[in-house]
Structure 1
Amino acid sequence: MALKQKSGETAREAKKRRLVGFAKTDEGVEANKCIKIFLVSSKDEVGAKDGFCIDPMDLNQFFGEDGKIYGYKDLMINIWLSSVSFYAYADISYASAVDGGKGITDLKLALQDIFGEALLEKIDFLQTFSTESHCVRSIISAGTVLRSYSINEDAESSDNLSDGSFIEHQVVRMELCSLPVGLLYSRLVPLTFLLIDGSSPIDVTDSKWDIYFAVKKIQSQTGDYDLRLLGFATVYRFYHHPESTRLRLSQILVLPPYQGEGHGRRLLEAVNSVAIAENVYDLTVEEPSEYLQYLRSCFDTLRLLDFEPIKPAINSVASLLRTCSVSKKSCKSLARPPTHAIDTVRQKLKINKIQFLRCWDILIYLNLNSKDRKIMENFKASISTRLQSDVFDKDTKSKGKLLIEVPNDYDHDMTFVVYCSQNGEESDCLNGAQADLEQQLNKLVDKQLEDIVEIAEKVSSLRS
């Protein structure tokens, strides 16, 4: 009876049984893994998956805190960016869109945050290849040509083509507050978001902003010509007390297809030439990337190698480092360029003090025999002495005090503590911290030497 009852209950349960499924939580997909951006110069290239694909810094930053897109299965986003008009079109495809517990990402809104009004529908985008075919020429042709150049160092500033037309590369300077220039820059802003780490748009209504364009001018036999934008740099004018100004390079970008051809260097040369011609106080760079700092150091070192007023100082230091032994006191005097050299370089070449100090070590290295172990030991000692005085000084008057950086959840470079000992006596804590700093200093010196050698080798190759 009991078994029957159980059997009956089981039958009823089986009859009522339902298949219950538990929905899997939507894990989302990283924007970097489902978005591709192609730079195109004609409508025929739109839709071709073998076009020039841009490698952006980080697309995840535009999609929430975790950088993920939610609610889509098999999502693929191909974005076509015109190198003619700098308008964009996004082709979005997916198998299905379902809220898996974290909502459905508004893709159109997210992409508009990147591209703004430059993001168009496909029909409108394709039309820009005809309606906006000369937009770069119509705007930039009104600017001031600062210099013409060739990407081939052995060629003249223009190259003849087989059809009788010729190519000329130029750097053109314009005021960013001009309405047409400001509108063109607004279309370039997405590229700064995608390709410059930490970039933010600038105020185009501020009259203190200038923009420098690197362009390719293609001129036919009939005299008609077109301009193709290769890159640009934005520069701001600051007031410097009492009656001067200083220039700050804010953004510099060469479009990916044209990188490695020397256009970034030409933009830097043009900005420096303006700084010298207008006799500004100096030229600085706003938070340069590692590569920009490398490029800038190569360029400035080349200029300094031919700058006669500092050659006696360089030769004097190099001569002392070639001696058999250099005392600690001598290292301290060799660690920095003389004050008159710093002032002369700033006045004549507009290279600020910090940048000159970077180049100074490279200039000294280029005047030494890098294969001589003793000379290199002396050179390393001089660098170590300067960095030691920059980071910490054992002979500081604040005896018994030590500044130590400590990590935090926000920005470890901005947090520090001060250790103080009683009656100026060194504690075990201070001794331990001092040892850690010395270890960090040694690593810093080794990294500095690696950078010096890398830039020196590049400079030597450019001069050969």
Structure 2
Amino acid sequence: MCVTDSLTRAQSPFLIYWQVCVRLCCCSCVVFFFFFLGMDAMEKKLAEYKCDTNEAICLKLVRFPEDVGDESTTFHPEYSHQLYGDDEVAFGYKGLQIQLYYTAGNLNTLFKIKYTAKVSEKFDCVEPDDVECKIRENIPPGFCSNTDDFITLLEKEANFKPFGSLLHTYSVHSGDEGEDITYQIYKADMTCPGFQEYHKRLQTFLIWFIETASFIDVDDDRWDFFLIFEKYNKDGETLFATVGYMTVYNYYVYPDKTRPRVSQMLVLPPFQGEGHGAQLLEAVHRFYCTFPLVQDITAEDPSENYVKLRDFVLVKLCQSLPSFSPDQLCEGFSEAMATEAREKLKINKKHARRVYEILRLRATDMSDEEKARSYRLEVKRRLFGPYKKNQREMTKMMRCLRPEELASHISQMDTKLQHEELEKSYQELLGEYRRVIERLART
């Protein structure tokens, strides 16, 4: 039985009632069935067998055997719709728990399903969703289904070493234990022994934390992989735990250059909020800066959180460039800024302009009415560009419009409305820029 069929029944109890009736009619029990149970009672009973799959899926990065039973080390997906439908609901179980536990370093996997009751145990005519098949389709073979086997693999974690070449080492201060924890960023590709199998396990996290994630074609040698690992001690040995990673595809740019494009980026939930994303993105920029034939670095369909992260990292990198010095900022955005950002840091002109506006805001005394006005007008002139373009296009269209169509388009060109939208966009942008400046001040 496919998941979508069973979910439809879970959402429409009448369909279940009908199937129950069909199966019971051979025993001439339909009337008695509805008489004793009733529609409302049946619906309530069935509702008890619906589970939120985001809560039912339990993820864990295991370092020590005792972590397996420690609920404090468990985390849950943000999304599960790619496997269990838009409602993210599984039907047919009470107390459903889908365990996906990984050894912290090599990501060897334990997959188990637990529940306290199944709907088929109560109602012979109703089948539960096959929640197991969807997981099996998306995790690579070779996983454990027995905890003892998983613990045996955990004991071999001392043999695991990061893949590829070391790019960057940094420390993060732990507030709980008061000590610095060391992290390292590595650059790898599919030629690294064992990396392809490791990557198959690593990418399974994408479907739980990136809304539109998909697995990549690893046979294409234009992919680069950047990985973060934590160094930690276990029984006097140094071990490595997977923290997060980024995939980058190197597009060809005529005639002889490439344009690296960030495809996927994920810091695993136990490590989020510690600055690892910024460390990773900065390390990636610095890596590609060493290649003269790299034109600039872009991102594929960046999320809002990624844009915030990129703003912070690019501003941090550009603030030391001579063309972005405070005395140059007050002169306005220049071609020298765009050129230096591209040549030294592989930042394209659009992003360099955004960096300029953030740094100029930081250098501007906004309590000075004249300086604030000068800054506001410059930013608004850039924001007004799309409005002017739309206005020109609509003017061309008006020549062939009927009177009623013309009236509709004229209303869209209302100047007052445009000014209101422009001011709204400016204030939202100002809020984004100030958050970057505040974060920069903290670091």
Q: 1: distance between equivalents of 2:64 and 2:88? A: 32
Q: Which amino acid aligns with 1:294?
A: K
The 1:255/1:68 distance shift into structure 2, 3 A limit, reads closer
Q: 2: distance between equivalents of 1:373 and 1:426? A: 43
**2:150 corresponds to:** 125
Q: 1: distance between equivalents of 2:155 and 2:390? A: 69
The answer to whether the Cα contact below 8 Å between 2:119 and 2:127 also exists between their aligned partners in 1 is no
Compute the TM-score of the two structures, normalised by the length of structure 1: 0.75
Paired positions, count: 395
1:39 matched to 2:61: yes
Q: 1: distance between equivalents of 2:380 and 2:251? A: 34
The 1:458/1:70 distance shift into structure 2, 3 A limit, reads same
Q: 2: distance between equivalents of 1:135 and 1:428? A: 73
**From 62, 72, 90, the counterpart of 2:112:** 90
Q: Which amino acid aligns with 1:245?
A: T
Superposed CA deviations along residues 48-86 of structure 1, whole A, max 9, x for unmatched, are 32x223242212442134322112234344443332332
- Say which is worse superposed, 292-301 or 34-43, in terms of deviation: 34-43
1:339 matched to 2:335: yes
Compute the TM-score of the two structures, normalised by the length of structure 2: 0.78
When Rg is computed on C-alpha atoms for both structures, the one with the higher figure is 1
**2:244 corresponds to:** 231
**1:53 corresponds to:** 74
- What is the CA-CA distance between 1:167 and the residue it aligns to? 6.5
The answer to whether the Cα contact below 8 Å between 1:237 and 1:248 also exists between their aligned partners in 2 is yes
**1:428 corresponds to:** 407
Q: 2: distance between equivalents of 1:452 and 1:64? A: 37
The answer to whether the Cα contact below 8 Å between 1:85 and 1:128 also exists between their aligned partners in 2 is no
Q: Determine what percentage of the aligned residue pairs are the same residue.
A: 23
The 1:101/1:307 distance shift into structure 2, 3 A limit, reads farther
Mapping of residues 6-405 of structure 1, within 5 Å: 20-22=36-38, 24-25=42-43, 26-27=46-47, 28-49=50-71, 51-86=72-107, 87-98=109-120, 103-117=127-141, 119-123=143-147, 124-131=149-156, 133-134=157-158, 136-137=160-161, 140=163, 143-152=164-173, 168-218=182-232, 225-279=238-292, 280-311=294-325, 313-317=328-332, 337-393=333-389, 396=392, 399=395, 401=397
**1:332 corresponds to:** none
Q: RMSD over aligned Cα, in angstroms? A: 3.3
Q: 2: distance between equivalents of 1:110 and 1:342? A: 48
Q: 2: distance between equivalents of 1:390 and 1:102? A: 56
Classify the secondary structure of the residue corresponding to 1:277: coil
- What is the CA-CA distance between 1:390 and the residue it aligns to? 2.3
Which ranges in structure 2 are unaligned for 5 or more consecutive residues? Answer: 1-30
Q: 1: distance between equivalents of 2:187 and 2:32? A: 77
The answer to whether the Cα contact below 8 Å between 1:400 and 1:422 also exists between their aligned partners in 2 is no
**2:5 corresponds to:** none
Q: 2: distance between equivalents of 1:104 and 1:31? A: 14
Superposed CA deviations along residues 122-175 of structure 1, whole A, max 9, x for unmatched, are 2332322124x13531x52xx21122222259xxxxxx99xxxx9643222111
Q: 2: distance between equivalents of 1:118 and 1:450? A: 49
The answer to whether the Cα contact below 8 Å between 1:136 and 1:227 also exists between their aligned partners in 2 is yes
**1:448 corresponds to:** 429
1 or 2, which has the higher helix percentage? Answer: 2
**1:12 corresponds to:** none
Q: Which amino acid aligns with 2:252?
A: Y
Superposed CA deviations along residues 310-362 of structure 1, whole A, max 9, x for unmatched, are 43541313xxxxxxxxxxxxxxxxxxx23342133112210112221221210
Q: 2: distance between equivalents of 1:378 and 1:53? A: 52
**1:412 corresponds to:** none
The 1:230/1:100 distance shift into structure 2, 3 A limit, reads same
**1:328 corresponds to:** none
Q: Which amino acid aligns with 2:422?
A: L
